[in-house]
Copies of this chain bind each other. A is one copy, B any other.
Amino acid sequence: MRQILEQNLNIKKTKWPDFFRCINEELVILEDNLRHKLPTKSSLLKEIVSYIFNAGGKRLRPATCFLVAKGTGGITEKHMVLSELTELIHTASLIHDDIIDSAKLRRGRETISNLWNDKISVITGDFLFAQASVRLGQLENTDIVKIYAKVLSDLCNGEIEQYSLLFNTNISWDDYINKSKTKTASLFAACSKSAAILNNVDSLSIKMAHEYGNSLGIAFQIVDDILDFTGSSAELGKEAGSDLKQGIITAPALFAINSADNRANQLKTIIENKFNKASDDFKKAIQLIHELGGCEKAKLLALEYSEKSKESLSFIKDNEIKSYLSQAADFVAERIS
């Protein structure tokens, strides 16, 4: 079982955390549902769906959902549905994002857009969103419908905001954190909160579950943004520095741009010129971000949000599950791929 999970969850290189082990049965069922049980008569779509989910992924959102469920009364059939719809929304949004960002690689494999084309990507994303909606209906809970409608809205707003702020070196920390909330944390918060709602816990616990997911999601996004600068292409499964190259200003660049050092202005100018002036402008920008300590400072910010997420765990009474959720927060802040 461990071997299957290691292989499935794409975390071979890191220590296999205990928190995955305590929900391995549910993760294996989820994996099977995603890979083999999405209903379509189209052989093309079957092939694409299998391609997508065989690429792995850490399944951190479903894991969050399962752990919160376990800590608030137990994992029910509805939590299985909730975790699946959460991963479907996540995957659909990645597929559409890859069209928008003209991405060539994702999780170490060619994107759907690159391997097939943009048209197929649009249909595939829409199909996964539709399948998520079907599962949302199965939950028969209008509060959760509202929560996930807000997530879809947030995901779009995050993507639009990112698009409208490309190469804008004047973006504020509020802009950055807000975009991280809408693009990433919103879905973490939704699955954590909804897992608690499905177990009929009190409203304060629901609020805390939301807070846990929200802080965890922001930490996750910041680490993702650091990895864009520090990871190798092989580790990342996509080109290193690809966000900055497109003009997306994330935490490491933002810390560097806002540092008191004179080189900050040089970095700003290079980015504002869209790396057009000299052929090694892009390399120079990466170098300046490292020299100005952008990644180290961003790491501290990620740890701050990871700690904040742990502080929200008072709603979990079971100490073992609480420690797993705490471990998940550490894993998010410390992951190297």
Contact = CB atoms under 8 A, between A and B. Distances in A.
Contacts of A40: 157, 160
Contact of A100 (B123, B159, B161): B123
A130 B126 CA distance: 12
Interface stretch (A136-144, A232-240, A329-337): A136-144
What is the interface of chain A mostly: helix, strand, loop, or mixed? Answer: helix
Interface stretch (A56-64, A148-156, A211-219, A313-321): A148-156
Contact of A123 (B43, B127, B159): B159
A152 B123 contact: no
A142 B126 CA distance: 21
A6 interface: no
Interface size class of A (residues with CB under 8 A): 35 or more
Contacts of A123: 96, 100, 156, 159-160, 163
A160 B122 contact: no
Contacts of A141: 142
A288 interface: no
A3 interface: no
A133 B156 contact: no
B119 A133 contact: no
B160 A133 contact: no
A96 B152 CA distance: 16
A67 to B, nearest CB: 26
A100 B127 contact: no
A44 interface: yes
Contacts of A164: 42-44
B137 A145 contact: yes
A169 interface: no
Given A100-B119, A164-B42, A130 B156 contact: yes
B42 A127 contact: no
Contact of A99 (B118, B133, B163): B118
Contact of A126 (B96, B102, B134, B140): B96
B159 A133 contact: no
A146 interface: yes
Interface in A283-318: none
Question: What are the 9 closest A-B residue pairs judged by CB atoms, nearest first?
Answer: A133-B149, A137-B146, A130-B152, A137-B149, A130-B153, A134-B149, A127-B156, A140-B142, A137-B145
Interface of A: 40-45, 96, 99-100, 102, 118-119, 122-123, 125-127, 129-131, 133-134, 136-138, 140-142, 145-146, 148-150, 152-153, 155-157, 159-161, 163-164
17 contacts: A41-B161, A42-B160, A42-B161, A44-B164, A99-B122, A122-B122, A123-B159, A123-B160, A126-B155, A126-B156, A126-B159, A130-B152, A133-B152, A133-B153, A136-B145, A137-B145, A142-B145
